[in-house]
Amino acid sequence: MKIKTKSKKVNKAWLQDHMSDPYVRQAQREGYRARAAYKLKEIDESLGLIKPGQVVVDLGSAPGAWSQYLRRCFAPRVAGTGGAAVGELDGTIIALDLLPMEPIEGVLFIQGDFREESVAAQLDEAVGGRAVDLVVSDMAPNLSGIESSDAARIEHLIELAIEFCGRHLKPGGALVAKVFHGSGYSQLVERFKKTFRVVKAIKPKASRDKSAETFLVGIGLK
């Protein structure tokens, strides 16, 4: 019973922190499905990565907040609800996730595991030979708590995203990928530096202080 009570206290404390989070409240006001939208927004406003007319691939897209933000960037003059502007879309957004995602107007969604060749092939087919301007990845594996194992899983996902960029990204395109400080982080930074001309690590204000997550941005394939 003590363990159960402690668990309830932890859950209640998390819920209170969550509901008092200014980014959570802002997301609710502005119609975003998750506070994560503001992480991509801050990275974009810092580096100017997203422009109308682009082809963008959103990896690990569910529940859809990043795709919503991308859609707003591609339809900036049309007011709408639900976190994404409605109407004509000046750009292409292809989203992929292992989990289901509620539809977003104009966003092509593929449900499947990016680690599976058949799913990666579906994504390649959806791109259809077009040069991709930007790949954004909020993918993260289910963490086991075993640092070496978790680091290997994270590295594998990043490696797949980099390989996808090698096949589809424009020479001047960019990859934004979520990573975690800890075991394997320095190796991921080195992998980015081998692949991209410019590499930046950004910890957005919308990313919780307690979280070990940060975002690596690679710009311009070598």
Place of tokens 């499947």: 112
> Reduced to 3 DSSP states, what percent helix, strand and coil does the chain have, rounded to the nearest 5?
40, 25, 35
- Residues 8, 12, 178, 210: which is the catalytic one? 178
The count of other CB atoms within 10 Å of the CB of residue 53 is 9
- Alpha-carbon span 40 to 48, nearest angstrom: 11
**Strands (DSSP E) found in the chain:** 55-59, 92-97, 107-111, 132-137, 169-180, 196-202, 213-221
Contact in structure between 38 and 44 (CB atoms under 8 Å): no
- Alpha-carbon span 104 to 85, nearest angstrom: 10
Q: Is 39 a residue of the active site?
A: no
User: Which positions are annotated as active-site residues?
Assistant: 178
